[in-house]
Amino acid sequence: MTPMPDPRKVLTTIRRATELLRATPGRTGGIIEPPGADEVMVVGDLHGNIPAFKKALTLAALDRNRRRHLILQELIHGKLMYPDEAGERSHQLLDVVAALKCQYPDRVHVILGNHELSELTGRIIGKDGKALNLLFRQGIKTAYGAASDEIYEAYKALFAAMPLAIRTANRVLICHTLPDEDDLDRLDLSLLKADTWPPEAMQRRGTIYALTWGRDTDPAVADRFAAMVDADYFVCGHQPCDEGFRQANHRQIIIDGTDPFPAFCLFPTTEPTTIEALLKCVHIIDVTAP
């Protein structure tokens, strides 16, 4: 097994990344309007998919494209496991992304997903008969031993600092998902501008819950939510896509960062766009390519 980094160094990186998430230029509460961004690259839900992340980072080429922003989401609860039922390893992706945020504090963004929210609220997510939250905690303990509780609390602070959405100059809102129709009337949109959220907002029927757990792709819901948040189009994650991405309706594209077809959407922000133009900007990540 590859030796884990020094827990003290990990804690320092996670805490610094947390500070930088909250201090990101263009951020107001839970929304970031990145200044000076000519284009953004949005990666689908990764769920610990480090090979796809590494390839996406290479394709992003942030050092050569200084007005490009990279947007990531849903980093945790993956399939890559430690041997001997010792938990899963998606925390490793968290560590790497935190370091990347420290390297590019103005141009790397991580938006809140329902899996991160589940860690904040203690809501258990089950898949294939396994509790993903418990596997996540077990993996952290395997990696960091006596420091695991402190590191887990630092991860939770990182999750709480994640923005809800990125709004581009050409009226695209990059968010994890759209609320369900039944939740639209209950939304407290003032929370989009808040720095912290009350516990009830993160529970079922609460605004933050609705903005990360909803699955409604009905065109009428998209129209109504677009009017509420002053956007024309949405690039989202949250829902698996058999082919890596799909057009959900006339306003919304869903992209998936998990195998076998992890995807990203790289689009310009300096000119008006359409749903057709956004679709042409979606690409599959070939993790086998040199």
The pLDDT, as a whole number, for residue 128 is 79
Which one-letter DSSP state was computed for residue 289?
Answer: -
161: domain range? 9-284
SS (H, E, C) 33-61: CCCCCCEEEEECECCCCHHHHHHHHHHHC
CATH number at residue 115: 3.60.21.10
User: Does residue 222 sit within a domain?
Assistant: yes
User: Does residue 1 sit within a domain?
Assistant: no
User: Does residue 102 sit within a domain?
Assistant: yes
Task: Yes or no: say if 167 and 31 are a contact pair by the CB < 8 Å rule.
Answer: yes
Q: How many domains does the chain have?
A: 1
Alpha helices in the chain (DSSP H): 7-22, 50-60, 91-103, 114-121, 132-144, 148-161, 181-184, 207-213, 219-229, 275-280
The pLDDT, as a whole number, for residue 129 is 81
User: Does residue 87 sit within a domain?
Assistant: yes
Task: Give the chain's residues under pLDDT 70.
Answer: 1-4
User: Does residue 290 sit within a domain?
Assistant: no
Element (H, E) at 111: strand 108-111
Residue with tokens 């904040």: 120
Distance separating alpha carbons of residues 93 and 257, to the nearest angstrom: 13
The pLDDT, as a whole number, for residue 15 is 98
User: Does residue 2 sit within a domain?
Assistant: no
Distance separating alpha carbons of residues 235 and 278, to the nearest angstrom: 9
User: Does residue 149 sit within a domain?
Assistant: yes
User: Does residue 269 sit within a domain?
Assistant: yes
Q: Name the pTM for this structure.
A: 0.96
Cα distances from 276 to residues 123, 219, 251, in angstroms, run: 37, 16, 10
